[in-house]
Amino acid sequence: MSSEVRGARTEDLDGVVEAHGSAFPGYFLTILGPRFLRIFYGSFLEDDTGTLMVCEQTPAGIAGFIAGTSGPAEFFARLRRRSGLGLAIAALPAVPSHPWRIAKRFLAATKYAGERPAGLPGYWLLSSLGVRTDATGCGTGGALLEQFCDHARQADARGVYLVTDETENEAALRFYRRRKFVEHAAWMRRDGRRLLMLKRSFDG
């Protein structure tokens, strides 16, 4: 089976949504449904600061994806202006099952700006990296991550950062630490969720 990491196209979005659902079952964005995810990931194609890449395997299709932005605050502000209503409508079917969770997260989303701290100017946000469960263990995630970092480096980024869970997340933390990511900050949200900000700096 051959594979290729490349820039995503509009026709890849269904495969990206499927890969997200496989990689993140039960997660908040997954609960919001395929229509929500399609709009969300489509925004990385539409925005000038967005990057969406896929790993396509022949003949299996989209095995994984990676999404990020060079300008997190601007990206999420434009996403709210352009697609806020569409995202809200797409999430409506999930509200009866998770009303308070969705209400709180949507309220937080109205102010979300990518969490880039002042200490990381010129760093790109890695927003999401997902690999289908049947494609794990064969280098798909690593290939996507390296291609994303190369793309950011070629665009004169100083590095890449991401936010992830600190607890019950050992496999993901090992994955990133093996690939030169180090801890930059840690904090606890009001709901008790402990988060880590990891960064990978580009030297030279």
- Whether the CB-CB separation of 41 and 79 falls below 8 Å is answered with no
Does 116 have pLDDT greater than 90?
no
Distances (CA, A) of 187 to 87, 169, 172, 174, 184: 28, 15, 18, 19, 11
Number of Cα atoms under 13 Å in the Cβ half of residue 183:
9
The pLDDT mean for the chain works out to 89
Does 1 have pLDDT greater than 80?
no
Does 198 have pLDDT greater than 60?
yes
pLDDT at residue number 133: 94
What residues does 36 pair with on adjacent strands? none
Give the model confidence (pLDDT) of 22-48 as tens digits. Answer: 999 988 889 889 999 999 999 999 999
Of the two residues 117 and 90, the one the predictor is more confident about is 90
Q: Where are the domains of the chain?
A: 2-201
Does 107 have pLDDT greater than 80?
no
Does 104 have pLDDT greater than 60?
yes
| Domain 2-201: which CATH number of 3.60.40.10, 1.10.3720.10, 3.40.630.30, 3.30.1300.10 | 3.40.630.30
* Rounded CA separation 187/69 (Å): 22
Give the model confidence (pLDDT) of 50-62 as tens digits. Answer: 999 999 987 779 9
pLDDT at residue number 128: 96
pLDDT at residue number 52: 98
Does 109 have pLDDT greater than 60?
no
* Rounded CA separation 172/87 (Å): 28
| Closest by CA position to 204, among listed 158, 162, 161 | 158
Does 108 have pLDDT greater than 70?
no
